[in-house]
Structure 1
């Protein structure tokens, strides 16, 4: 059978674009469809704009420190609007770069939604095309909780579109998105409160590292309530009273099911313009905030794509089920990135796309390696991590824990109480470093390099033989001689 394309990619994020370009470089005829903007979550509504906001949020802190270092400067007020304008100009530029990369690779671009008709046929707008192979790279999206008036809350996509910075915000959740935006907004002058239903933030990260980070965030002025979540939400002025809820509460008449449905189906645009809200917490506390921000989870973008009709299996949260080669239950259809809910990181999606091309177009079956992936949480201070947490390592085997926490030179000079953490987890039997965790400014930069050593299987003695770079924070990674405990 003759096909219009050798490969049709659905999704123009980092993973899909990389796979399309590399496949085209192998002589394949390739097309890509993106219904929103090229660049996907990372470039348009994730990593890139978030990191630029991280940079912006640190300058007040830098200016305050500069005074202590002898500079005659005063921190002024942050002006959101010119920053927002420049931010979106940069995102437009990057989207243009992605488009040019695809065009220069002779990839046909469809700026519209794509939907499968069968295992080789795709509806693209009003056109239908066929492809020998189909790659789904549609990513994920933030979701709101199933509660009344949830449409009044923001999600992460909205944070880059705000017309004005709020004076106060309540963040629901304790994962990396919640914590990163808490630090960003606090740094920009917003009064930030976090409700986290767990006992500590950043579930799944090393307990000691996340504990220090929580202490640091609290010390900087972020209000964190653990074991707490939101139970009611309403616009200010429509606070529920006994006998009623929602907008008819004052009269004691509860809203109809149709009214509830209409409220919860309102768009993100409605949320951005929703105005001040009243909330009631699970512990009974009542407060008012300019905005509520739900950072409570993400779902795969697999809805209404004809996937199940074509035979693709869908799992929890809409995730597409794939094997180690990113192949679905349908031999001609593959999936990579967040839509598969394996490891939700942009570099992982890119690696999966490269492995797909190696397997399908280069005849070199390449499983995706998801082991020992370094990652960073861009809080203030940052958290960098690779390998096992102490809790995971101790369950697997006997370990030695090498750990130090101290005030870095830069902070100590200005008498700030900021502390950093350097931690190595070492197998007693093999002496291999099983995990490395860093809480410090620029931890993301440090963990990238430490990740190479851990991935290569370096032992504690390999670290010890490495001469320290002095004076740096990271030198502690190679100067810890005695374990602080065994587990």
Structure 2
């Protein structure tokens, strides 16, 4: 059958733009469809705008810690000015992404796409067909089934706030809750986290999360774990959150309640059944080539595929894999080994490779090097007592199996451990590296002793 396009892409984020530009550069016709401004979650509603807000919070936090270094002015976070800087960035990013697609000769549609057949889509009243279709629609907040759920503010909306409310409750305990709580607390808000699980940041080492808990306390953030939110009600000009922890009922009054309880692939509105695209447990059924197991014309990448962790580097790799398979036939599968993960708290916490629990479950023989290193120069120079590490080294090969860090600038240092894991470097080889001193990276040999 003759199709309108060689490739139709649902979404315009990191994975989508990678595939679009590569396939178009190979001479194929490409159309990109997005119901929101072009650019995707990371650039417009996630990583980048969050880091811009975090920069202001980090400056306030650092100044408050630096009184022993002679800093005397009381730092204040001017939220409207900070938001103006964030808005300038996202507006410019939207424009540049539109220009990127246009400059490559990629047709763009603004609207919500839905399948009408195995090789066809509808965007409003417009119908198109394509030889291949890529689902790269990202993720959306998981639906919370409780009274008053409509009063929840999404992470997207939090990043757009013109004014920072005085009292904020975050429902959930992952990346969003941890990062946003630190931003809000440094902005002067009273912050409470209500987490159903028994600890925050379950994707990170529990010992390091325990060390980081001290920073939540110093920022004045109230953390209630093992707590299930039951309802959100309005009371005059405030919201009242009711939660349950064991036999205890917890009620918190708030000006804002933020949904931080996780995200799922944004598949609900795509009418996948009409496209013959199988879904199981809310996830696309894909083969090792990121291709639909039921419709070979369809591929997926990034958060919509959910084959790897929900991280930007994973979306980028997925994009390269799909582009290669589209252009050269199925031959490439994603390799997520050594993909680092960071929660940009103050200070950040980072991980790469196996956790200690995963390594033990695999019956690997390894040595754990771990310490809360508050007395090391890195911690003292930054006036930040939360600084520690846990590094797993395989006994027989001396290869690094996993690295877990918390403290100043570990969001950069974790990349060196990621490189070592992907390159299968040994701990002894990494210890021989002549790192610039004094830097956080120069602590790596001591972490391997």
TM-score (norm. length: structure 1): 0.86
2:407 is equivalent to residue 457 of structure 1: no
1:75 and 1:99 map into 2 onto residues whose CA distance is: 42
| Residue pair 2:168, 2:192 contacting (<8 A) in 1 also | yes
Partner of 1:409: 377
Partner of 2:446: 479
Where does structure 2 lack aligned partners over 5 or more consecutive residues? none
Q: How far 1:75 moved relative to its partner?
A: 2.5
Q: Deviations over 1:178-199 (max 9, x none)?
A: 1111111111111111112222
Distance 1:325 1:210, change over 3 A: same
| Residue pair 1:467, 1:478 contacting (<8 A) in 2 also | no
2:346 is equivalent to residue 380 of structure 1: yes
1:383 and 1:84 map into 2 onto residues whose CA distance is: 25
1:413 and 1:14 map into 2 onto residues whose CA distance is: 36
Q: Secondary structure at the match of 1:453?
A: helix
Partner of 2:395: 428
Mapping of 1:352-367 within 5 angstroms?
A: 352-363=318-329, 365-367=331-333
2:448 and 2:66 map into 1 onto residues whose CA distance is: 35
2:166 and 2:65 map into 1 onto residues whose CA distance is: 24
Q: How far 1:417 moved relative to its partner?
A: 5.8
Q: How far 1:474 moved relative to its partner?
A: 2.8
| Residue pair 2:391, 2:448 contacting (<8 A) in 1 also | no
1:206 and 1:67 map into 2 onto residues whose CA distance is: 31
Mapping of 1:121-136 within 5 angstroms?
A: 121-136=120-135
**Which of residues 265, 276, 280 is equivalent to 1:300?**
265
Distance 1:224 1:8, change over 3 A: same
2:184 is equivalent to residue 185 of structure 1: yes
- Counting matched residue pairs gives 442
Q: How far 1:124 moved relative to its partner?
A: 2.4
Partner of 2:48: 48
1:100 and 1:118 map into 2 onto residues whose CA distance is: 30
Partner of 1:332: 297
Distance 1:335 1:381, change over 3 A: same
**In terms of mean alpha carbon deviation, does 348-357 or 416-425 score higher?**
416-425
Q: How far 1:131 moved relative to its partner?
A: 0.9
| Residue pair 1:422, 1:477 contacting (<8 A) in 2 also | no
2:238 is equivalent to residue 276 of structure 1: yes
| Residue pair 2:32, 2:107 contacting (<8 A) in 1 also | yes
2:56 is equivalent to residue 91 of structure 1: no
**In terms of mean alpha carbon deviation, does 188-197 or 285-294 score higher?**
285-294
Partner of 1:485: none
**In terms of mean alpha carbon deviation, does 58-67 or 170-179 score higher?**
58-67
1:420 and 1:284 map into 2 onto residues whose CA distance is: 35
1:70 and 1:96 map into 2 onto residues whose CA distance is: 43
| Residue pair 1:235, 1:277 contacting (<8 A) in 2 also | yes
2:228 is equivalent to residue 229 of structure 1: yes
2:251 is equivalent to residue 286 of structure 1: yes
| Residue pair 2:289, 2:330 contacting (<8 A) in 1 also | no
Q: Secondary structure at the match of 2:270?
A: coil
Mapping of 1:8-407 within 5 angstroms?
A: 8-71=8-71, 73-237=72-236, 275-282=237-244, 283-316=248-281, 318-328=282-292, 329-342=294-307, 343-363=309-329, 365-396=331-362, 397-407=364-374
Q: Secondary structure at the match of 1:205?
A: coil
2:431 and 2:317 map into 1 onto residues whose CA distance is: 32
2:118 and 2:133 map into 1 onto residues whose CA distance is: 8
| Residue pair 2:338, 2:422 contacting (<8 A) in 1 also | yes
TM-score (norm. length: structure 2): 0.93
> What is the root-mean-square deviation of aligned Cα atoms in Å?
1.9
Look at both structures and tell me which one has the larger radius of gyration over its CA atoms. 1
Q: How far 1:333 moved relative to its partner?
A: 0.8
2:378 and 2:74 map into 1 onto residues whose CA distance is: 19
Q: Secondary structure at the match of 1:479?
A: helix
| Residue pair 2:64, 2:75 contacting (<8 A) in 1 also | no
**In terms of mean alpha carbon deviation, does 378-387 or 343-352 score higher?**
343-352
2:141 and 2:251 map into 1 onto residues whose CA distance is: 26
| Residue pair 1:143, 1:155 contacting (<8 A) in 2 also | no
2:115 and 2:227 map into 1 onto residues whose CA distance is: 42
**In terms of mean alpha carbon deviation, does 105-114 or 225-234 score higher?**
225-234
| Residue pair 2:204, 2:350 contacting (<8 A) in 1 also | no
